């Protein structure tokens, strides 16, 4: 049934349902698997509704409802961090999640509203929809520090469009998927034209070319044996001096000393105290074990002082070498820095974090046994364009990504699976393996093809051991993103829109 014949309440209900299905497509609840076909189907529904909507305002309203439902259904688990662990009243926590979703959803409402207002023909409708959708995704991912969690491209980490990841990245995949959805949606919405087949055919052609054209790369040295630690320290005790802190110091200290792997990795803030706050001799004993031994370690812990400021960092230790340090660059709003005018909001929560200093973009890798290990902390691997800065010099480019995280803030929720899919997308974009050491999950070894080779059960205390093979070479995405960031995608998104606006003005009566 076309959207024009639908009652108003039915169109709103379908937009809401389509948005929730879009959220589920990134990581299906219960299994955590991405469903690429569901993402296409849900976005096709939005395109069909918008195409037959009565005016651009109606189309924008449907898109805003779709996007708000999609985003709230994607990161609803922020409620857990704010209410359960932060102590914020439940109504305020719910309002904060809905408010954030509604604000970010406005980008997509604007994009779909403009698309409907321009009323492109069958041939140009998919291209223009893809360009506008891409622009909305870029806005969400970059403005106000950016929060592209659950972006539509991540649903395709296991689908046929995954072949495009080394070429155009997650944002580019989202644009191609949007073009396909628009072509299908316009057809479903009542327009019958063979020219609508152009978008799916072009996507199939691109995927076919990507499948047969090899991405330059090869193995780097010999496989590296790793031990990834998962402490499963309860989040509500993690920073408590009588419970979580002694438990973390004892367990991680024991595992770091006992492991026989070449590289041992402990997650974000595995050591929850500053070095000067640790029991006497603790840090020195941990450091000496690796500085004078035959193994290396990457350990998450805070660094700094009141005078210098604090950083969320990773410390690297290896024999007869200076202590390595990586400082997190992309900080979490409200958790690691307080946005202007929002001090009152963070004061309502009981979270033992505040304003941190930022590390630089493109920090040096940690060299060990022929590999160059590139740490990133928590959701930093959500920003592929920032990781790409490390590939500007191919001779110093990472061979392995190392993510250390603590998703314990969000409980036993789909956030764990969503973050795993994010890491898998980075593996595809850069043709690099990703090893993940987390507090509660998902601790995993991901190969350069984005396959999860090994993982630990969530919410268990244990050590994941295995081997990881580093990689060399630059993917096309790594090459252009390391030089120009996201600017090529911005141009691809804005150029068709500007062209359509110019053509519209020329056709307008004088």
Residues 6+ apart with CB under 8 A from 11: 3, 49, 53, 62
Separation of alpha carbons 25 and 19, rounded Å:
10
In this model, does residue 499 exceed pLDDT 90?
Answer: no
C-alpha dihedral (167, 173, 179, 184), degrees to nearest 10: 130
Q: Which helix (H) or strand (E) holds 304?
A: strand 296-305
Residue 192 backbone dihedrals phi, psi, to 5 degrees:
-110, 110
Q: Which residues are catalytic?
A: 268, 328, 378
Domain with CATH 3.60.110.10 in the chain: 218-474
Separation of alpha carbons 351 and 344, rounded Å:
13
Q: Could you report the per-residue pLDDT of 189-201, keeping only the tens digit for each?
A: 667 666 666 667 7
In this model, does residue 508 exceed pLDDT 80?
Answer: no
* pTM of the predicted structure, to 2 decimals: 0.93
Other Cβ atoms less than 10 A from the Cβ of 493: the count is: 23
Separation of alpha carbons 48 and 71, rounded Å:
20
According to the model, what pLDDT value does residue 351 have? 59
Separation of alpha carbons 268 and 262, rounded Å:
20
Separation of alpha carbons 81 and 93, rounded Å:
9
Q: Are 414 and 77 contacting, i.e. CB atoms less than 8 angstroms apart? A: yes
Residue 144 binned pLDDT confidence (cut-offs 50, 70, 90)? confident
Q: Could you report the per-residue pLDDT of 235-268, keeping only the tens digit for each?
A: 888 888 889 999 999 999 999 999 999 999 999 9
Q: Which fold has domain 218-474?
A: Nitrilase/N-carbamoyl-D-aminoacid amidohydrolase (3.60.110)
According to the model, what pLDDT value does residue 203 have? 74
């Amino acid at each position: 049934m076309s959207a024009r014949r639908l009652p108003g309440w039915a169109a709103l209900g379908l937009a809401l349902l389509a948005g929730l299905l879009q959220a589920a497509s990134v990581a299906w609840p219960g299994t955590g698997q991405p469903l690429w076909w569901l993402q296409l189907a849900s976005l096709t529904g939005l395109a069909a509704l918008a195409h037959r909507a009565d005016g651009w305002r109606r189309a924008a309203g449907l898109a805003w409802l779709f996007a708000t439902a999609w985003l709230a259904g994607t990161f609803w688990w922020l409620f857990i961090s704010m209410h359960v662990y932060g102590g914020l009243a439940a109504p305020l926590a719910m309002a904060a999640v809905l408010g954030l979703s509604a604000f970010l959803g406005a980008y997509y409402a604007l994009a779909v509203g403009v698309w409907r207002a321009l009323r492109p023909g069958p041939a140009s409708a998919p291209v223009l929809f893809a360009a506008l959708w891409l622009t909305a995704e870029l806005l969400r991912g970059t403005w106000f520090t950016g929060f592209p969690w659950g972006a539509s491209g991540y649903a395709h980490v296991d689908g046929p469009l995954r072949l495009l990841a080394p070429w155009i990245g997650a944002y580019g995949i989202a644009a191609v998927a949007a073009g396909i959805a628009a072509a299908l949606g316009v057809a479903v919405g009542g327009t019958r034209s063979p020219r609508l087949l152009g978008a799916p055919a072009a996507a199939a052609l691109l995927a076919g070319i990507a499948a047969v054209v090899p991405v330059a790369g090869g193995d780097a040295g010999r496989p590296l044996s790793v031990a990834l630690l998962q402490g499963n320290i309860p989040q509500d005790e993690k920073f408590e001096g009588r419970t979580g802190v002694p438990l973390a110091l004892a367990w991680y200290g024991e595992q770091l000393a006992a492991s026989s792997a070449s590289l041992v990795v402990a997650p974000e803030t595995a050591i929850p105290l500053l070095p000067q706050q640790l029991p006497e001799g603790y840090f020195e004993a941990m450091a000496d074990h690796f500085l004078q031994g035959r193994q290396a370690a990457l350990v998450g812990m805070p660094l700094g002082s009141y005078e210098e400021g604090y950083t969320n960092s990773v410390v690297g230790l290896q024999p007869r070498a200076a202590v390595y340090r990586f400082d997190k660059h992309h900080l979490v709003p409200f958790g690691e820095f307080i946005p202007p005018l929002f001090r009152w909001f963070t004061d309502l929560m009981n979270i033992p974090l505040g304003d941190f200093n930022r590390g630089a973009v493109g920090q040096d890798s940690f060299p060990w046994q022929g590999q160059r290990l590139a740490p990133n902390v928590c959701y930093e691997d959500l920003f592929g364009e920032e990781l790409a800065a490390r590939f500007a010099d191919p001779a110093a480019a990472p061979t392995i990504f190392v993510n250390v995280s603590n998703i314990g803030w969000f409980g036993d929720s789909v956030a764990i699976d969503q973050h795993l899919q994010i890491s898998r997308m980075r593996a595809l974009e850069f043709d690099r393996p990703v090893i993940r050491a987390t507090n509660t999950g998902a601790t995993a070894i991901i190969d350069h093809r984005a396959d999860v080779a090994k993982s630990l059960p969530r919410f268990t205390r244990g050590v994941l051991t295995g081997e990881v093979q580093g990689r060399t070479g630059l993917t096309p995405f790594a090459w252009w993103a390391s030089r120009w960031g996201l600017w090529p995608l911005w141009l691809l998104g804005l150029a068709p829109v500007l062209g359509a606006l110019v053509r519209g003005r020329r056709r307008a009566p004088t």
